[in-house]
Amino acid sequence: MPREITAYSNPLIKRVRSLRDKRHRRAEGLFLAEGLRILAEAEEAGTLPLMLFHARDSADHPIVRRLSAATEAAGGDVIQTVPDILHKLSGKENPQTVIGVYAERLTPLESIDRATAPIWIVAQSLRDPGNLGTILRTGDAVGAGGLILLDESADPFSVEAVRASMGALFTQAIAHAAWPDFIAWLRAGPGQLVGTSLNTDTDYQAPAYRAPVFILVGNESHGLPPAYEAACDLLVKMPMRGKADSLNAAAATAVMAYEVLNQQRRGAATI
């Protein structure tokens, strides 16, 4: 049976609320996810929350009942509370029905099996958590293996990134590495590194991509550093017919990922 917490001063409420801050997330190794859809996606991917908070009036919702039972069966903690406390935990004016607390799920780079997927996404120094979450969602959509974050990056476990991923955070491997470690790992096995850049005349639809393809996108403002571009097997760009000189990082990633996917689909159709 769930326990009930209705006091703002409860130590657990204070602790969980602190997970909105990166420093506390890192210290605890925990993060927040909110909403029935995201928590149901996590469950489908085989991940249950360590703690599940839900409002009293949602206790009879079939998904809430299922998540509560599964969480308790797995040894997790289910807490029934009030909307004001859910608001305090999420920081949103209209909080979701449920909030889950999960263990951070970074995958060590050396543990990634590149043979498990034909597409991987690599992002250098992303600053916008919304872009990061959207890229995770794109990765899930195209069947990518995961996202490798290079250098200093936005936190993939921030509330904003988790929200933007719409559950893809739980289906995609997420790794973090410094550039020298990544390039050494990549060159130790198969993999075509394709960078998106303005410093090329190669249209993104012109090359033949060879799986596994590692799509490398740069920082939203500065793009890829010259040394990173020089290390790529290919540099490609998307045609820009208007006044803008480039796409948003998440949009560019989606365009590239679907081009690679479509080439792979056409190739499979001809075999």
The domain limits of the chain are 3-103, 109-270
Contact 89, 63 (CB under 8 A): no
Q: What is the pLDDT of residues 53-79, one digit of tens each?
A: 999 888 889 999 999 999 999 999 999
Q: Reduced to 3 states, what is the DSSP secondary structure of residue 35?
A: coil
For position 242, what pLDDT does the model report?
84
In the chain the beta strands, taken as DSSP E runs, fall at: 3-4, 30-34, 51-55, 77-81, 98-103, 119-124, 146-150, 173-177, 192-196, 213-217, 234-236
For position 270, what pLDDT does the model report?
44
- pLDDT-derived band at 271 (thresholds 50, 70, 90) equals very low
Joined tokens for residue 271: 């075999």
- pLDDT-derived band at 250 (thresholds 50, 70, 90) equals very high
Q: For the structural domain made of 3-103, what CATH number should be given?
A: 3.30.1330.30
Q: Reduced to 3 states, what is the DSSP secondary structure of residue 181?
A: helix
Is residue 95 over pLDDT 70? Answer: no
Q: What is the pLDDT of residues 169-208, one digit of tens each?
A: 999 999 999 999 999 999 999 999 999 999 999 999 999 9
Is residue 267 over pLDDT 50? Answer: yes
pTM summary value: 0.92
Q: What is the pLDDT of residues 97-149, one digit of tens each?
A: 899 999 999 999 999 999 999 999 999 999 999 999 999 999 999 999 999 99
Q: Which CATH superfamily is domain 109-270 in?
A: SPOUT methyltransferase, trefoil knot domain (3.40.1280.10)
Q: What average pLDDT score do residues 163-168 get?
A: 95
Contact 11, 48 (CB under 8 A): no
